[in-house]
């Protein structure tokens, strides 16, 4: 089967320089056709070139020919750096469309890298996480995964299971020749595999927030200072603040990061009984945000005694991971009073501590190997299979469960996946990656 040659711009429109990547068997031909110097004669060297259509010069820039298989995709590749204006890029893409190559689909370069064995599926998925990481700790976790940290741990578990499987096969096939009783060693190795999988699952729950951000809802009755706190935490005047209760009508999301952990802060409408239709919708949205929150931050006005509305909110947030704040600390005489922490949006008092506590409550953990929901699911399935293996006594049934667990682990590394799943995963990528 012949492989298509694909091309795509890899940089966003509007920079000074744009990079266009080409991958596939036509690369050497395209290079000779389109460039005024034969860059295939000096592989892996950046050369200054004119990029041409016949005699017409389309642009000038740098070109580099990378012969496969030692490339990102494992195929021959050609990289063209041209001027970043949308017109110059468009001209070159038009020119490329006349060479027999076709535009790449989202993630197709990385998909080829996976299919050509340059990386396993968990590493390929990490590529996109690296690109989209918006906070320092998220980037670290994605890079660890890209560098094979997760793969190593999965492979170690797979080896344990494969050893157990071959011991069972030997015992079943040649019962007279196998000396040691496999049923003695088996539970211990299955337990070890299960423990490691459980550890990965636990890390996964912590790693998820590194990828998706900690969802923090700021809630409270009207006028307690939610919008002021949002503004103070992001250091910008995003939410409208007035002395009138009921100012915020709709939820307002802001992305930020605390100590390298991505955070989605959500300001909400003050919760109270209201006859106003618009306000009531806002209040419903506030409650939805509260339901979704990883951490609920409940503000109580420090300058006032607790009202019935405050009490209701204390009850409403009871089962949640929450922090109770005493707001407007700058107006207070004493440190004592209700709440976990006194803060002031005006002076910044308590805000660093608040950020620290939110991160601590979120469960985000440095060095979490798993950040991907799909991987967590696969691990849970593998754990369930091993759980079942521990409950059956017949060796052939144990073997079936072990194979089942291996199948689920294979979905993470890509050893055991179907084409449809692969397509779905790479469709989430950006074009050019
Ligand atoms: N002195 C002082 N005033 C504050 C502080 N935080 C908020 N305020 C004042 O409290 C009033 C209400 O603040 P907002 O931030 O709009 O309160 P809110 O909880 O968002 O109110 P709603 O949107 O109506 O639910 C404003 O007049 C703010 O200036 C603070 O830390 N110190
Ligand atoms: Mg508000």
Nearest Cα to Cα of residue 146 among 121, 179, 175: 121
Protein residue with its CA nearest to atom 32 in ligand 1? 328
Residue 243 alpha carbon to ligand 2 centre in Å = 10
Q: For position 287, which CATH number holds?
A: 3.40.50.300
Same domain, 62 and 189: no
Ligand at shortest distance from the CA of 223: 1
| Position 206 in a domain | yes
Can you give the pTM of this predicted structure? 0.75
Choose the final residue of a domain: 362, 380, 397: 362
Q: What's the CA-to-centroid distance between 14 and ligand 1, angstroms?
A: 40
Q: How far is the CA of 266 from the centre of ligand 1 (A)?
A: 16
Token couple for 370 = 């798993």
Instruction: Give the CATH number for residue 148.
Output: 1.20.120.430
**Residues 314, 220 share a domain:** yes
331 in contact with ligand 1, CB cutoff 6 A: yes
Is residue 17 included in any domain, yes or no?
Answer: yes
Shared domain for 217 and 206, answered yes or no, is no
Ligand 2 centre from 241 Cα, in Å? 6
**Range(s) of the domain holding residue 267:** 213-362
264 shares its domain with 311: yes
Question: What pLDDT, on the 0 to 100 scale, is given for residue 243?
Answer: 95
Does residue 111 form part of some domain? Answer: no
pLDDT in the model for residue 186: 83
Mean pLDDT, rounded, for 285-303: 96
Residue 236's alpha-carbon distances to 23, 113, 227, 353, 421, in angstroms, are 44, 42, 11, 19, 42
Examine residue 376 and state whether it is found in any structural domain, yes or no.
Answer: yes
Question: Region 84-110: what's the mean pLDDT?
Answer: 93
Whether the CB of 330 sits within 6 Å of ligand 1: yes
**Residue keyed to tokens 């985000």:** 364
Is the domain of 259 the same as that of 168?
A: no
In angstroms, what is the span from residue 244 Cα to ligand 2's centroid? 9
Residue 340 included in any domain:
yes
Same domain (yes/no): 250, 301: yes
Of the residues 362, 380, 398, which one is the last residue of a structural domain? 362
- pLDDT tens-digit series, residues 312-365: 999 999 999 999 999 999 999 877 778 999 999 999 999 999 999 999 998 776
In a domain, 82, yes or no: yes
Give the number of the ligand closest to the Cα of residue 225: 1
Site to substitute for ligand 1 among 218, 220, 222, 228, most atoms within 8 A of C-beta: 228
Residues 270, 343 share a domain: yes
Instruction: Choose the final residue of a domain: 362, 387, 412.
Output: 362
Q: Which atom of ligand 1 is nearest to the CA of 343?
A: 31
Q: Is the model's pLDDT at 406 over the cut of 90?
A: yes
Phi/psi of residue 270, nearest 5 degrees: -60, 135
pLDDT digits (tens, 9 = 90+) for 168-196: 888 888 777 666 667 677 888 899 999 99
Q: Which pLDDT tens digit goes with each residue over 373-397?
A: 889 999 999 999 999 998 888 888 9
How remote is the CA of residue 283 from the centroid of ligand 1, in Å?
17
Closest CA to ligand 1's atom 14: 225
- Give the per-residue SS3 of 363-379: CCCCCCCCCCHHHHHHH
Pair (313, 405) in one structural domain: no
Select the more confidently predicted residue: 202 or 226.
226
Structural domain contains residue 243: yes
270 Cβ closer than 6 Å to some ligand 1 atom: yes
Q: Is 219 in the same domain as 197?
A: no
Give me the pLDDT at residue 335, please.
72
Structural domain total, the chain: 3
Across-strand partners of 20? 9, 80
Same domain flag for 194 and 128: yes
Flag whether 44 is in a domain. yes
Would you state the pLDDT for residue 194?
94
Among residues 209, 236, 241, 229, the alpha carbon closest in space to that of 298 is found at 229
- Whether the CB of 223 sits within 6 Å of ligand 1: yes
CATH code of the domain covering residue 40: 3.30.1360.120
User: Which atom of ligand 1 is least distant from the CA of 220?
Assistant: 19
Q: What is the mean pLDDT of the chain?
A: 91
For residues 391 and 308, membership in a common domain is answered with: no
Verify that 331 and 421 share a domain, yes or no.
no
Contacts of 148 (CB under 8 A, 6+ apart): 120, 123
Measured between alpha carbons, how far is 27 from 61 in angstroms, rounded to an integer?
17
Taking the CA of 270 as reference, the closest ligand is 1
């Amino acid at each position: 089967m012949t492989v298509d040659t694909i091309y795509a711009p890899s940089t966003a429109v509007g920079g000074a320089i744009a990079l266009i990547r080409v991958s596939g068997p036509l690369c050497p031909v395209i290079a000779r056709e389109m460039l005024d110097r034969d860059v295939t004669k000096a592989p892996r060297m950046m050369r200054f070139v004119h990029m041409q259509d016949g005699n017409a010069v389309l642009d000038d820039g740098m070109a580099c020919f990378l012969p496969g298989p030692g490339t990102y995709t494992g195929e021959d590749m050609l990289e063209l750096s041209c001027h970043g204006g949308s017109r110059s890029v468009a001209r070159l893409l038009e020119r490329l469309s006349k060479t027999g190559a076709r535009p790449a689909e989202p993630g197709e370069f990385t998909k080829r890298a996976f299919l050509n064995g340059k990386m396993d599926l968990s590493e390929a998925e990490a590529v996109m996480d690296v690109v989209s990481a918006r906070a320092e700790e998220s980037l670290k976790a994605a890079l660890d995964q890209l560098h094979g940290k997760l793969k190593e741990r999965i492979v170690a578990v797979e080896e344990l299971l494969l050893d157990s499987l071959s011991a069972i096969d030997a015992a079943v096939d040649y019962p007279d020749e196998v000396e040691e009783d496999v049923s003695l060693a088996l539970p211990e190795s299955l337990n070890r595999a299960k423990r490691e999988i459980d550890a990965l699952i636990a890390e996964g729950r912590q790693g998820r927030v590194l990828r998706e951000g900690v969802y923090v809802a700021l809630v409270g009755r009207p006028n307690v200072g939610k919008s002021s706190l949002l503004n103070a935490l992001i250091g910008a005047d995003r939410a409208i603040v007035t002395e009138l209760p009921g100012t915020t009508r709709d939820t307002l999301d802001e992305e930020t990061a605390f100590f390298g952990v991505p955070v989605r802060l959500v300001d909400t409408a003050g919760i109270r009984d209201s006859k106003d239709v618009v306000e009531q919708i806002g209040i419903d949205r506030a409650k939805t945000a509260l339901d979704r929150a990883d951490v609920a931050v409940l503000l109580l006005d420090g300058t006032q005694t607790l009202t019935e509305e405050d009490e209701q909110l204390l009850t409403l947030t009871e089962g949640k991971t929450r922090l109770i704040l005493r707001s407007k600390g700058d107006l207070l005489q004493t440190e004592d009073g209700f709440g976990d922490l006194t803060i002031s949006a005006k002076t910044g008092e308590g805000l660093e501590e608040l950020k620290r506590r939110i991160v601590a409550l979120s469960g985000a953990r440095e060095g979490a190997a798993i950040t991907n929901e799909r991987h967590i699911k696969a691990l849970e399935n593998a754990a369930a299979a091993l759980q079942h293996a521990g409950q059956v006594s017949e060796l052939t049934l144990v073997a079936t469960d072990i194979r089942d667990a291996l199948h689920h682990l294979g979905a993470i590394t890509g050893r055991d996946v179907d084409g449809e799943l692969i397509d779905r995963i790479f469709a989430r990528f950006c074009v050019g990656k």
